[in-house]
Structure 1
């Protein structure tokens, strides 16, 4: 069962939709042009209901099948990134400093393609809820949509999503049951010392040395405070301090990221970071304040739904092009909020060689859009078959 013929027929339309979306990237929850374009396409397709204004610019659209049954949710994110585009494409971003550097334009296009096909054929029971989500990159739009009640409001029983994967074979699928992506937390450390002349450090309480001490000590959380086989990443990614070579500054700032799967490991990191920051501040004679922000939870696939989704992917592209136990990674994804509420699965779809995600020269590969749309469509038809189909 390869790419659906009808979806292949309008693949040129999908390319046009995607490239238009690529020209108008918008950030976080503030995506009015993107949302309006999606709603216009959905009206063209004749979906049964369009609910706008969820999480500010998010949309849930409903398509009714041929008979009563449950509701399955399909999600696509549509926000861009604050990155100046360097692709030189004729459909490059027209919004300076913003671009679709993570392929959310492609994710939206794949779901629109599935929507068009499902609205035409309706060869399924129950309903499909098409979830178009803002603010995946920043703001946790999936969590906001869940908080605003979409799962209960639309009686969604299971939910699925796709993400493109540069560097993996074109049209190949990758996923894993259980934990797939990590929880992500962010830490900020503000150091207050006493500055002075660089030639007279004895008259200062140096925040630069304190910041360096904190940064080095934080790394011992991974090397000395946790079991080596438990996945954990603690990375200091920013240190800002000082202005000139002969002045010791008053302040310093550190920032970084923490990635975990186990809530107990996450709690240990938070505790040890508080202790380290306080201890290092005391040893250097400065004041330091830790601001620890808990972010997206771990993305945990339901094992049964993941196996089912992998089977459907195999029907679309061939079993030999599906890796159903690919292992987990330390990236993060706010689809995790939806998977906390309902069973489902998140899969990666290979898009071949090219610039990686969040790179200024990245571009989504339009060749894989019909593959993703076919996966979504077949998933609905197989998860919720009409009785006549079941009796054949």
Structure 2
């Protein structure tokens, strides 16, 4: 059995659930999250936060809350808690009464729940202030591929408010409600995007000998690229190289002169990432040249996300808080690393910290049109955040 949720937190759940449903009805994408950010800022002020700063990293919100002893003196008593706010460009298929009111947009990753849980903890901690130091509540836009965390860093978030640690939570389908899981060390992969353009000589499909067919060259590149992981990367280093899109031509009887391909790369170290990029460029150029074509590789749009790596001391603090609220039997510290990517990795490159998964129960997987954040997880997320505050900044 899970440890019981604090009565004060349990009393908040009906209202927090209404907030979550409201965020779900009004999904916003990338950096364009004005409604969500406004509501977050308004609520932090209503809770009595000591300072609320809007427009960080374009549309991010920071809220400062001092413990019972007053403002922290330096970063030794300052910690950052982060939630993401953005949705995804997916057409919702949940059939929920509170389903998205914006066609082609939905909260398919649970950021509506993440924002709600951190707001719930903000309210509870503003009431108690039973910690010693300052908590920096970070509500971040643009996690889904646009590196909103890095944008907030570049806008001076960590320079203005240096912190000794940083923490984040993500819901995870398949982990039971009230349970938690995390990996020690590397937990989520880096992601790199590459656009491969193969240029040949187009012509009539009846006369292929008068062309230099870029489709044949592209097909050879797709096949050869699979040897990067199987024959170049150390077998003990997890990695993925996937060609995810191929675009060329639009007629039955024409060999096009150009092919465009998209490639997605995942791994857990910068060194492996550099090896993969070097090999992808070599294979593409040499394979195309062998078939009389030319290949050019450009990095795809957006900033590549680095691997997310949990830090040892902060991992132990997070585990202590999870065990306190869920019971040791409901906390896993041996989760296998996940090939998904997460831009909280940018924060953990600057500050030691930990990233954990909160059980979402047996729901559809993330980024699925039928996914929905499980409201039953809200109380457990709020309980974790409030316990973590007391753990990392003990009064």
Same fold (TM over 0.5): yes
Q: Which residue of 2 aligns with 1:151?
A: 158
Pairing partner for 1:180 from 173, 181, 187: 187
Q: Which residue of 2 aligns with 1:245?
A: 252
The Cα offsets for residues 111-164 of structure 1, whole Å up to 9 and x where unpaired, read as 000000001111111111100000000210011111222122122221100000
Quickly say closer, same or farther: Cα 1:2–1:302, change in 2 above 3 A. Answer: farther
Q: Which residue of 2 aligns with 1:141?
A: 148
The Cα offsets for residues 286-333 of structure 1, whole Å up to 9 and x where unpaired, read as 122111356110101011111111111011011100001212121110
Q: Which residue of 2 aligns with 1:34?
A: 36
* Structure 1 unaligned spans of 5+: 387-392
SS of equivalent to 1:10: helix
Q: Which residue of 2 aligns with 1:92?
A: 99
TM alignment of 1:59-70, pairs within 5 A: 59-68=61-70, 69=72, 70=77
TM alignment of 1:1-392, pairs within 5 A: 2-68=4-70, 69=72, 70-293=77-300, 295-386=304-395
Q: Which has the larger displacement, 144-153 or 210-219?
A: 144-153
Superposed displacement of residue 2, structure 1: 3.5
Superposed displacement of residue 335, structure 1: 0.2
Distance 1:120 1:371 in 2: 18
- Asked whether the equivalents of residues 2 and 315 of structure 1 are also in contact (C-alpha less than 8 Å), the reply is no
- Asked whether the equivalents of residues 60 and 139 of structure 2 are also in contact (C-alpha less than 8 Å), the reply is yes
- Asked whether the equivalents of residues 195 and 250 of structure 1 are also in contact (C-alpha less than 8 Å), the reply is yes
SS of equivalent to 1:67: coil
Superposed displacement of residue 187, structure 1: 1.1
- Asked whether the equivalents of residues 83 and 99 of structure 1 are also in contact (C-alpha less than 8 Å), the reply is yes
Distance 2:393 2:161 in 1: 16
The Cα offsets for residues 39-80 of structure 1, whole Å up to 9 and x where unpaired, read as 121122111110000011100101111115411110000000
Distance 1:256 1:291 in 2: 10
Taking structure 2 as the reference length, the TM-score comes to 0.95
Superposed displacement of residue 226, structure 1: 1.6
Distance 1:308 1:156 in 2: 15
Superposed displacement of residue 204, structure 1: 1.1
Q: Which has the larger displacement, 366-375 or 243-252?
A: 243-252
Q: Which has the larger displacement, 142-151 or 72-81?
A: 142-151
- Asked whether the equivalents of residues 197 and 246 of structure 1 are also in contact (C-alpha less than 8 Å), the reply is yes
Q: CA RMSD, aligned part only?
A: 1.2
